[in-house]
Homo-oligomer: A and B are copies of this chain.
Amino acid sequence: MAEKIEIGYTDRLKEAFEVMGKMGLLLVSVDANGKPNAMTIGWGTVGIIWGKPIFTVLVRPSRYTHNLIEQTRDFTVNVPTPEMADIVAFCGSASGRDHDKFKEKGLIAVPSKKIKSPIIEQCTINYECKVVHKNDVIKEKLDGAILSSAYRSGDFHTIYYGEILGVYYSNK
Identify A133's interface contact among B18, B42, B48, B141, CB under 8 A.
B141
> Is there an interface contact between B45 and A48, defined as CB atoms closer than 8 Å?
yes
> Is there an interface contact between A42 and B47, defined as CB atoms closer than 8 Å?
no
Contacts A45-B45, A48-B42 given; does A138 touch B142 at CB 8 Å: no
Contacts A133-B142, A138-B133, A142-B133 given; does A51 touch B46 at CB 8 Å: no
A142 CA to B132 CA in the complex, in Å?
A: 6
> Is there an interface contact between B133 and A137, defined as CB atoms closer than 8 Å?
yes
B-facing residues in A8-25 (Cβ within 8 Å): 10-11, 13-14, 17-18, 20-21
* Total identical chains: 2
Contact flags A112-141 to B (C-beta < 8 A → 1, else 0): 000000000000000000001111111001
Identify A18's interface contact among B10, B18, B46, B49, CB under 8 A.
B10
Cβ of A54 under 8 Å from chain B: yes
In the assembled complex, which residues on chain B have CB atoms less than 8 Å from the CB atom of A136?
Answer: 135
Q: A20-B47, A135-B136 are in contact. List 17 more A-B contacts (CB 8 A).
A: A10-B18, A11-B14, A17-B47, A17-B48, A43-B49, A44-B47, A44-B48, A44-B49, A45-B45, A45-B48, A45-B56, A46-B46, A50-B150, A134-B138, A135-B138, A135-B159, A143-B163
Name A residues whose Cβ lies closer than 8 Å to a Cβ of B. 10-11, 13-14, 17-18, 20-21, 42-51, 54, 56, 58, 132-138, 141-143, 146, 149-150, 159, 163
